[in-house]
Amino acid sequence: MLRPDQASVRGFALASVIANAVIICTGEAVRLSSSGLGCPDWPQCTKTSVVAAHSAGQTTLNTWIEFGNRLLNFPLAAIAGLAFITCLCYRPGGRRRRDLVWLSAALPAGVIAQAVVGGIVVLTHLNPAMVAAHYLLSSAILAAAVVLHVRAGEGEGPVRPLVRTDLRVMAALLAGVTALMLAAGTVVTGTGPLAGTVLDSDGHRKTVPRFHFPLENVTQLHADIGWFIGALAVALVIGLRFSPAPRQAVRFGWLVLTGLGFQGIVGYTQYFSHLPAGLVWVHVVSSVLLWIFVLRLYLATRERVPLPAEAAAAPAEGSAVPA
């Protein structure tokens, strides 16, 4: 029977963080290269082929870009499955860590959910609402992997705050508003000119369905949320710097602040340069890193201590498994 240690659990959790971040970034490359319908069927690439094959109205490059992104789901699923199995078999002190099992279960479940949502995206010809759901679900799975990585290095006892209550509240608010900004970004994407295109039977490009919102308005909303996050991050970093706070929290605070500054520069540059696809991709990739930093910042403001020796020595009812 497998006897994984803490290092193994954290290693697979970290691998899940990296794998999910990569799949988000490559998925964005699919959209920006207009390859979302490079494989126009699901779960096969075309109605007659499982692998990449010529399809009317699609270029060979578009087909291989989309098919290549689909192939990345296999190592992603393998890593998610191994992370779950490792957490299931991990028994420090003879007890199963149920918190880690539930968190790790979200990873393979998320892969399955993403496969279904991805299929709906293709079959609805890149409906912007489904594309947004696809991206946001990926961000939620990434968040679960980040939390798993941190929790695997902690005990399973009660939460102990490491900073003042007001700073913890600000860190939680920062995470919530950052999630809101990601959602607003999907609306901007689904409204703008880079929502995706497809070749018709005559070889002409046509834009896929988009949200019918004024682009200037949704872009301004997205920017306003960004400014609010920036002000909140500045206040939080100052509070952490001049209070007894863990060095890790201060470090992630500065990483968040730096990431927000970079995001702002790239965001305004891409807007005033008429949204070049390469710069938009950089904007999305940096938003993925920012999301990770924000989550780590919040998690660094608290810790979970080990259970008392008496509780650790008495396995919970039904937690024992046959050797």
Range of the domain at 12: 1-153
User: Mean pLDDT, consecutive 10-residue segments, the chain of 323 residues?
Assistant: 84 96 91 78 80 71 84 93 94 88 96 92 87 94 96 88 94 96 92 67 64 89 94 96 92 95 91 86 94 97 75 46 34
Identify whether 322 is part of a domain.
no
Identify whether 320 is part of a domain.
no
Residue ending a domain, among 153, 188, 219, is: 153
- What pLDDT was estimated at residue 197? 59
- Give the whole-angstrom CA distance, residue 1 versus residue 13: 20
Identify whether 245 is part of a domain.
yes
Judgement on whether residues 126 and 192 belong to the same structural domain of the protein: no
Judgement on whether residues 287 and 239 belong to the same structural domain of the protein: yes
Residue ending a domain, among 153, 187, 208, is: 153
- What pLDDT was estimated at residue 317? 42
- What pLDDT was estimated at residue 56? 64
Identify whether 106 is part of a domain.
yes
Judgement on whether residues 167 and 137 belong to the same structural domain of the protein: no
Residue ending a domain, among 153, 173, 197, is: 153
Judgement on whether residues 148 and 169 belong to the same structural domain of the protein: no
Judgement on whether residues 42 and 131 belong to the same structural domain of the protein: yes
Judgement on whether residues 208 and 125 belong to the same structural domain of the protein: no
- What pLDDT was estimated at residue 310? 44
- Which residue bears the tokens 């010529």? 54
Number of Cβ within 10 Å of residue 195's Cβ equals 20
Judgement on whether residues 83 and 46 belong to the same structural domain of the protein: yes
Q: What is the number of domains present in the chain?
A: 2
Judgement on whether residues 105 and 243 belong to the same structural domain of the protein: no
Judgement on whether residues 103 and 5 belong to the same structural domain of the protein: yes
The structure's pTM equals 0.89
Identify whether 99 is part of a domain.
yes
Judgement on whether residues 235 and 290 belong to the same structural domain of the protein: yes
Judgement on whether residues 172 and 135 belong to the same structural domain of the protein: no
